[in-house]
Chain A
Amino acid sequence: MSIRVLIVDDSPAMRRFIHRIMSLSGLDFTDCIEAANGGEALERLRETPVDIILTDINMPEMNGEELLETIEEDRELRRIPALVISTDATTLRVKRMLALGARGYIAKPFSPETLRSEVERVLQS
């Protein structure tokens, strides 16, 4: 299966890093679509189908929590699995994001192998 990924992060450098890691992952990877916040992510999702969402939490305008809440309320969008990638690895935050529907949580810093294996796990589940 060829996969298309939506990367949601307000840091252009982090979006480029994740894009590069995905490109080198060995997964059958089509392309990455990028968004700088939750609002932009919803626009991208309405324009282009994606197979997985990789989202940060702390972002301006619409953050990752609000994005997951909105996705969970949408019949179509909630079918797309979301992985959270964040510097915040506190227990409450991880529980909160998983309760909102995230299929996994990757704490920064993370290795390329961690990202690849988590994406693969979520897509196969």
Chain B
Amino acid sequence: MNLIASVADILPFSCEQVLETMFFTGVLSAEERRLTPDSSCQHCTVTAKVVFNGPPEGALEIRLENSTAAALASSFLGIDPEAVTDGDCRQVAGELANMICGSVLSRMAPESTLHLESPVVDNGSDTLSPGGPVGYPMAAHYFLTLPEGGLEVSMGAVS
């Protein structure tokens, strides 16, 4: 199966499954976008990236606003939104990226031997690399609308 077509098909499904199952929320809409330097979320302040080795090898990156990250952290951890800390948001963003990445790869390459590195979470990144998560050709880029706000997901990979 073509790698890019495969990721593009699987990525939104995996996002929806992770969000519904473990964050108790849903995806209102999923729009595949061609990524350009000015197309990414203008207010995103939490970025989480997971690098994986296989084959395939590549990286998955998510971006979301602080308020969205806080709402998802509240759902995931079962705590009041007012009690969510920046640390909670970072941890939960990292875990969200990790689960989406693992879900995609387990479907895309079920017979492979994979290794996912620990998520790297950053604040304040303004734009995603237009070429995909640094160093890998872009395989898919989606903008998801959740009840809590926007979530951008990009995956770059090579066979």
Contact = CB atoms under 8 A, between A and B. Distances in A.
Contact of A60 (B17, B94, B95, B118): B118
A87 B115 contact: no
B111 A58 contact: no
Interface of A: 10-14, 16-17, 20, 58, 60, 86-93, 107-111
B114 A88 contact: yes
Interface residues of B, number: 30
B146 to A, nearest CB: 15
Contacts of A87: 98-99, 101-103, 106, 116
Contact of A90 (B22, B88, B114, B117): B114
Interface of B: 17-18, 21-22, 73, 76-78, 88, 91-92, 94-95, 98-99, 101-103, 105-106, 109-118
B10 to A, nearest CB: 13
A111 B17 CA distance: 10
25 contacts: A11-B98, A13-B73, A13-B76, A13-B88, A13-B92, A13-B95, A16-B77, A17-B76, A20-B77, A58-B116, A87-B106, A88-B102, A89-B106, A90-B106, A90-B110, A91-B110, A92-B111, A92-B112, A92-B113, A93-B113, A93-B114, A109-B99, A110-B21, A110-B22, A111-B21
